[in-house]
């Protein structure tokens, strides 16, 4: 239990997928204008990442490895991820049309969110157990959601600030992200023992 907790903290905070590994910047910049859609995006991505981690672990262990099909890894992973995203899109469209409208193009774009593929690939490289992979995937996704929420809160406040015209919009978003990454450097080398 304690091991998984450490793994969660490590993947969510210390090796945060957005701020330390710089993966998934596209939705991080795109869907962080307000907290509600950021939460929706975070949850959708968490779902996709966790599911994709499980599916890719299964594929890797029972299909790709036994048959020596390592060269098809990225292809198969993308296939699974795309299918999962399609599924999530249907569910969101059905359950919350507002959220569907707010996420817009970024919802199908989870497919190409490099965080999803990245985490799946990294987990497979680790060659860890199924549960371990799942926890690591979930932790990373949690870190993504957390940072997305924090960033959305900051940007909501930024929307009311008098940012100079030259920096308004995306530029100040990137400056803000860099400062947030600076703050997250405080967790570097964190060892819970």
Partner 1 sequence: MGLMEKIFALLEHGPGEHWGVHPDDRKRPAADAPLRVLPLPERLHVPLQQHIGAAARPIVLVGQKVLKGQLLAEAQGATSANIHASTSGTITAIGEITAPHPSGLPCAAITITADGEDRWIDSEPAVDPFSLAPKDTAARIAAAGVVGLGGATFPSALKLGLGLRAKIHTLILNGGECEPYLSCDDRLMRDFAAEIIDGIRIMLHATGAQKAQIGIEDNKPEAIAAMTAAARKFAEISVCPVAARYPMGSEKHLFSALTGQEVPADGRTTDLGVLVHNVGTAWAVHEALRHNRPLVERIVTLNGGAIAFPGNIRVPVGALVEDVLAYASLKEVPARLVMGGPMMGSLLPHTRVPVVKGSSGILALTAAEAAAYDPGPCIRCSSCVRACPVGLLPLEMSAHIAASDLNGAVDLGLKDCIACGCCSFVCPSHIPLVHYFNHAKGELAAQGRTQLRNDAAKRLAAARAERIERDTREKAEAAARRKAERMAQKAAEKAAAEAAAAQEAAGTAAESSEVTT
Partner 2 sequence: MIAAILSLSLLGLILGFGLGFAAKKFAVETDARVAELEALMPGTNCGQCGFPGCSGAAAALADGKASPTVCPPGGKALIQALAAKLGVSVDLSGVADEGPKIAAIEEEICIGCCRCLKDCPTDAIVGAAKQIHAVMREACTGCEACVDRCPTGAITMDPVPITLQHWVWPKPLSEGAKAWA
Partner 3 sequence: MTGFVATAPLASPHAHSGGRVTWVMGKVMLALAPATLYGFWLYGWPAIHLWVITILFSLLGEAFCVRLMGRRAIPVLMDGSAALTGWLLALSLPPWAPWWLGAVGGLFATVIAKQVFGGLGQNLFNPAMVARVALLISFPVPMTQMVAALPLGSVGAPDFVQGLRITLAGMPNYDAVASASLLGHAKTELSRGIDLVQTFASANAPALSFIGARTGSLGETSALLIAAGGIALIFLRIITWHIPVAMLLGIALPALIGHAIDPARYLGAGTHLLSGAAMLGAFFIATDYVTSPNTRLGQLVFAFGCGFLTWVIRTYGGYPEGVAFAVLLMNALTPAIDRLIKPRIYGRDRKGKPMELPEEKA
Binding site for partner 1 (CB under 8 A): 159-160, 162
132 binds, among partner 2, partner 1, partner 3, none (CB under 5 to 8 A by kind): none
Half-sphere exposure of 48 (CA within 13 A, CB side): 37
Select 76 or 112, whichever has its Cβ closest to partner 2.
Answer: 76
Question: At closest approach, how far in Å is the CB of 176 from partner 1?
Answer: 17
d(CA 21, CA 23) in angstroms, rounded, equals: 6
Return the range that interacts with partner 2 (CB under 8 A); candidates 9-17, 74-82, 125-133, 174-182.
Answer: 74-82
Contact 56, 77 (CB under 8 A): yes
Structure tokens at 31: 């869907």
* Residue 8 to residue 12: CA distance in whole angstroms: 6
Interface residues with partner 3 (CB under 8 A) are 35, 149-150, 153-154, 156-158, 161-164, 167, 172, 175-176, 179-180, 182-193
- How would you label 113-138 residue by residue, b for 16+ Cβ within 10 Å and e otherwise? bebbbbbbbbbbeeeeeeebbbbbbb
In the complex, which residues of this chain contact partner 2 (CB under 8 A)? Answer: 59, 63, 67, 69, 72, 75-76, 79-80, 83, 86-87, 90-91, 93-94, 97-98, 101-102, 162
């Amino acid at each position: 239990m304690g091991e998984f907790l450490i793994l969660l903290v490590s993947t969510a905070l210390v090796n945060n997928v957005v701020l330390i590994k710089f993966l998934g910047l596209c939705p991080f910049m795109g869907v962080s204008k307000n907290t509600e859609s950021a939460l929706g995006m975070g949850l959708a991505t968490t779902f996709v990442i966790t599911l994709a981690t499980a599916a890719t672990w299964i594929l890797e262990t029972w299909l790709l490895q036994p048959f020596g099909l390592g060269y098809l890894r990225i292809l198969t992973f993308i296939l699974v991820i795309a299918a999962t995203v399609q599924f999530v899109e249907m569910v969101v469209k059905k359950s919350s049309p507002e959220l569907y409208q707010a996420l817009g193009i970024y919802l199908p774009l989870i497919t190409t969110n490099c965080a999803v593929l990245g985490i799946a690939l990294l987990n497979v490289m680790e060659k860890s157990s199924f549960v371990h992979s799942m926890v690591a995937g979930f932790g990373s996704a949690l870190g993504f959601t957390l940072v997305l929420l924090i960033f959305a809160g900051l940007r909501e406040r930024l929307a009311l600030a008098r940012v100079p015209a030259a920096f308004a919009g995306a530029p100040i978003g990137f400056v803000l992200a860099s400062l947030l990454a600076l703050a997250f450097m405080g967790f570097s080398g964190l060892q819970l023992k």
